Structure 1
Amino acid sequence: MRPITKIMLGIIAVGGLLQSVGFGLLLWPSREFTRFYLQQVVWLRPTMIGLTGLVALVFLIMLLVAIFRRSTAQSLILAGEDGDLTLDKSAIENTVAKAVVAQHFAKSVAVAVSIRKKQVARMRIEAFSGNSKDLKAEAKQIEETARQKLQACLGIPVKHVRVHLLPATKVKAKTARVI
């Protein structure tokens, strides 16, 4: 998660907690807080209304995401004349990784796949290239290899492929450990 996202979520969470505490104190019969509230009503009421609006907005967004976000699956189901074929997510990732290693000068290939019921929605490929020149062109070739492999082997469409390619000089050398 990005740091700015963490900061924004933290601010929203603190606002929601303050709003909950303030609302609870308003409902709880406490003379001290009631007296404080009546003295500070000029700024406290708009603050509480604003925090309530923020909490309502957050929960509305959560509800919309829950309703409209397409769900992902852990396996892909391919229907055929002889029956259904179920492919596990790790099998698809392994197939693509082996195809990339076989056709390109790449090391440490890691593939992450996001699956929907009938298609591969997203694929992220991370690898270290032995070729330190023209990484962009090689990334395009790796993307095309991944698309072709899934289309040829499984006959399934891929909506989005993202390739993150680094030169092999960025690989951390494993040092020998003497015991």
Structure 2
Amino acid sequence: MKPITKGLFGLVAICGLLQSIGFGLLLWPSREFTRFYLQQAVWLRPLMIGLTGLVLLVFLIMLLVAIFRRSTANALILAGDDGDLTLDKSAIENTVAKAIVARHFAKSVDVDVSIRKKQVARMRIAAFSGNGKELKQEAKQIEETARQKLQECLGVPVKHVRVQLLPATKVKAKTARVI
């Protein structure tokens, strides 16, 4: 989650918590509102307090997510002796995709990388294999190729790699249009 998103979630959560507390206090028995609620059905007050409690719980969960979830970034920052090197997310994805295509019989390789400032957190790879058999073994080889390429080129660790490999027969055939 990006820092600005976390900040917005935190702001919305604080506003929601304040609103829930204020609304709960408004429903608490007082002389002005007691007559109004006595005229209404007996179930209105517990229902409103229950709904306020539900809203309070939702905004509390949102606040905890905003505080404790780790931030993601759009660029990987590598510190060196000469200065910092910033690599864009799409450049990392392109490097891994080209390495997979070069070493494996795979088509339509799609790489999605989730990065943090100094490491690659998650990588999802989707591809179509020309080899119809032994897809699990080839998926493990593709995973190892992706890890090796990032370690070799960038020297950054990868926490989690998920490979979705389908046989090439599942590729939708493109039909030619004749005009």
Q: Given the two structures, how large is their TM-score scaled by the length of structure 2?
A: 0.78
Task: After superposition, give the CA deviation of every residue in 1:118-144 in whole Å (9 maximum; x if it has no partner).
Answer: 000010001011111121111111111
Q: Give the residue type in structure 2 aligned to 1:38.
A: L
Q: In the aligned structure 1, how far is the partner of 2:36 from the partner of 2:176?
A: 67
Q: How does 1:1-150 map to 2 (within 5 A)?
A: 37-38=37-38, 40-150=40-150
Match of residue 3 from structure 1 = none
Identity of aligned residues (%): 89
Q: Secondary structure at the match of 1:176?
A: coil
* Distance apart, 1:56 and its partner CA: 0.6
Q: Aligned-pair distance for 1:73?
A: 0.6
Q: Which residue of 1 aligns with 2:11?
A: none
Which secondary structure does the structure 2 equivalent of 1:90 belong to?
Answer: helix
5+ long unaligned stretches in structure 2:
1-15, 28-33
Moved more, 155-164 or 132-141: 132-141
Distance 1:124 1:117 in 2: 18
Offset of residue 39 of structure 1: 5.1
For 1:96 and 1:41, how far apart are their aligned partners in 2? 64
Shift of 1:37: 4.8
Q: Which amino acid aligns with 1:44?
A: L
How far apart are the structure 1 equivalents of 2:39 and 2:126? 59
Give TM-score scaled by structure 1 length: 0.78
Which segments of structure 1 move beyond 4 Å, counting only runs of 4 or more?
34-37
RMSD (CA atoms):
2.4
Bigger relative contact order, structure 1 or 2 (CA pairs below 8 A, ≥6 apart): 2
1-structure distance, mates of 2:72, 2:47: 39
Structure 2 counterpart SS, 1:42: coil
Task: Write the letter of the residue equivalent to 1:64.
Answer: L
2-structure distance, mates of 1:106, 1:35: 73
- Which consecutive unaligned segments of at least 5 residues does structure 1 have? 1-15, 28-33
Letter in 1 for 2:84: D
CA deviations over 1:35-83 (Å, ceiling 9, x no partner): 8853554322222122111111111111111111111111111011111
Letter in 1 for 2:175: T
Letter aligned with residue 68 of structure 2: F
Query: Following the alignment from structure 2 to structure 1, what is the Cα–Cα distance between the partners of residues 122 and 128?
Result: 20
1 CA distance for matches of 2:47 and 2:104?
Answer: 59
Taking the aligned partners of 1:92 and 1:119, their CA distance within structure 2 comes to 12
